[in-house]
Amino acid sequence: MKPTATLLLTNSIAGWLLMPHPDHADHDPDPWLDDMHGQDWKTMSLKDRAFLSGQPVADAIAHIRSVCRQLEMTMSVCGGGHTLRLWRNPPEPAPTKISVDLRWSAWSFCQGHWDQFEPGVWQQMLAAFSGQSPPLVVRTSPKKEIRYGEVTITKGGARGWFADGWDEPTSLADTLGIDCDDAFSDMLPLARMIESPGVERFFRFERCRSFARLMCRIDAEELHVISTSKVAWQQIEGTFVATKPA
């Protein structure tokens, strides 16, 4: 694959700098440098363009890799670490979207659980993880629980969220034996993805070694939401139990 841009990483008194590579004048580096700096790089002062002053080249390269990932670019390093070749990643194909119901949980690391309640979905997720099919968006909402989630399986990783929903404020207030006023409603945590009282958690995993490992990590995210939600409710419950007259 031919590099789309080749830049020079050079050190200065002010810090590390990204520059057009003098030996690669067959392309226009300005759009790339503009993107890397977040503005027209030619209008910036040397001080504003410099970064990681006094740090080793390895740290400078790690910083640039991080920026490249945010900009959906791929970078290779050569020339003793001072010549950087960049490509823009091809757009991710449109994902396939499905909805699932695993009854008592929003996720599971066990293939048998998926095969029992959602036959074929495990194989779809595995194909998305291996890159054999487009990304797969799994929207999950078990009928036996007030829990929701959306997980996008991509090649080598996944991203998404889980939410543990609570009852409406009036029902929660009845449970505690108190009035449902504005002060009580305001103290309840809000799960914004479901626009309801509850607890939510976002996650992202990249470059997972195996599909089984990825499924375990996603499953742990749901367990974390459940645990956090339980603690949050216990704290609220404890507040009102402590203030009730004996």
**What pLDDT, in 10s, does the model give residues 118-169?**
999 999 999 999 999 999 999 999 999 999 999 999 999 999 999 999 999 9
Ranges in the chain, pLDDT < 70: 1-3, 81, 242-246
pLDDT at 1 (0 to 100): 45
Check residue 78 and give its pLDDT. Answer: 84
Residue 130 in contact with residue 161, Cβ under 8 Å? no
* Kind plus residue range of the DSSP H or E element containing 235: helix 211-243
Q: What are phi and psi of 11, to 5 degrees?
A: -100, 150
- Helix and strand totals (H; E) in the chain: 8, 10
The contacts of residue 99 (CB under 8 Å, 6+ apart) are 138, 139, 140, 141
Q: Give the closest residue to 35 by CA, choosing from 10, 3, 7, 54.
A: 7
How many whole angstroms separate alpha carbon 143 and alpha carbon 102? 8
CB 27 within 8 A of CB 5: yes
Own/partner pairs, 126-130, CB within 8 angstroms, 24+ separation: 126/211, 128/96, 128/153, 128/154, 128/155, 129/153, 129/154, 129/155, 129/156, 129/157, 129/158, 129/208, 129/211, 129/214, 130/155, 130/211
**Phi/psi of residue 71, each to 5°?**
-90, 5
Q: Which residues fall within 8 angstroms of residue 239, CB to CB, at 6 or more apart?
A: none
Residue keyed to tokens 């139990």: 241
Task: Give the span between the Cα atoms of 28 and 160, in whole angstroms.
Answer: 37
Name the DSSP letter for residue 23: T
DSSP-derived pairing of the beta strands 73-78 and 136-140 = unpaired
